Amino acid sequence: MTQLVWNGLFVGSFYALVALGYSMVYGIMKLLNFAHGDLYMLGAFTGFAVLGAAGGVSVTMALPLLLLVLVLTMGTTGLAGVLLERVAYRRLRGAPRLSLLITAVGASFALEYGMRAAAGADPRVYPVRLGGTSLEVLGARVTLQQLALVGVAVVLMVGLNLLVTRSREGRAMRAVALDPRAAALMGIDVDAVIARTFFLGSALAGAAGVMAGAHYGKIDFMMGFLIGLKAFTAAVIGGIGNIPGTMLGGLLLGLLESFGTFWLGGEWRDVFAFGVLILFLTVRPTGLLGERVTERV
């Protein structure tokens, strides 16, 4: 039982990290950025390239080195996210939402197959792996490295929450999310705020990508597709646009999958997870913590 909970929370923390970017971008510009999962993939490959450039490293140095790679990758994928917004979305500001959505799907394919052209279709394996010296905690097998990864995820999420709720930049983001036009009238540079949002969301997805690469080992150009869908589901469950809600949604989806597999069997896991998505979309589209938004004119 505790094993089920731990498995769910571990997978869920990845979902939550990726889902945050989805949720923030949606909150600010009402865009479902379907290319977001591919930024996770981009992060995994960036980390792979940086590690490759660092050359052979002893195992004892693995954790500090990975942290350094993590920071570098977050910067790179963050900038990639900003670039993506600049190239693919900014010109469509004010265009019908459907155009943005279709552009997002196009951007997703461009990233996936661009990576395939650049790195090949073969899966790659991380040169530095987080091994597994596992210990028993309340009957569940947990590795120290898993704990470290969850710790990093928690630190990133708490940091993000502080940034959004306590800083000037965060206040600007919230203002733009509430009403972009009014925010612009108050002297907020909306484009800059949107770029910043993309940077933060993409950096988190990139961090999740590196962590997945280091933990699971295998990366390939399509790895962002499925997790992108799962992250979207997590964001909807928790309340898209709402940051604590999204984190909750990620963890909850991880738990749902873990218990769904246990109760119904492996072939029903995705049916169960996406069934919950449909349920939420029909019964409570604002998600668990999302507020009911009064229709704005």
State the residues that interact with another protein by CB under 8 A.
3-4, 7-8, 10-11, 14, 116, 120-123, 125, 129, 132, 134, 141, 143, 212, 216-218, 220, 222-223, 225-226, 257-258, 260-262, 265-267, 269-270
Minimum distance of another protein from residue 246's CB (angstroms): 19
Q: Could you tell me the smallest distance in angstroms from the CB atom of residue 244 to another protein?
A: 24
Sign (positive/negative) of CA torsion 287, 245, 274, 255?
A: negative
What are the start-end ranges of the H helices in 96-242? 97-119, 144-166, 168-178, 180-185, 190-216, 223-238
Nearer to another protein among residue 99 and residue 263 (C-beta): 263
Q: Nearest approach, Cβ of 109 to another protein (angstroms)?
A: 14
Could you tell me which residues come within 8 angstroms of residue 169 by beta carbon, excluding any fewer than 6 positions away? 163, 193, 196
Nearer to another protein, 8 or 287 (CB): 8
Residue 65, both tokens: 């080195």
CB of 258 to another protein, least distance (A): 5
Q: At closest approach, how far in Å is the CB of 271 from another protein?
A: 10
Torsions phi, psi for 140 (to 5 deg): -110, 145
Hunting for tokens 């597999």 — which residue is that?
A: 261
CA–CA distance, 85 with 90 (Å, rounded to integer): 6
Which DSSP string do the residues of 83-117 spell out, in sequence order? HHIIIIIGGGTTS-HHHHHHHHHHHHHHHHHHHHH
Q: For another protein, which is the closer residue by CB, 128 or 176? A: 128
The nearer residue to another protein, 134 or 167, going by C-beta atoms, is 134
Q: Residue 136 or residue 295: which is nearer to another protein going by CB?
A: 136
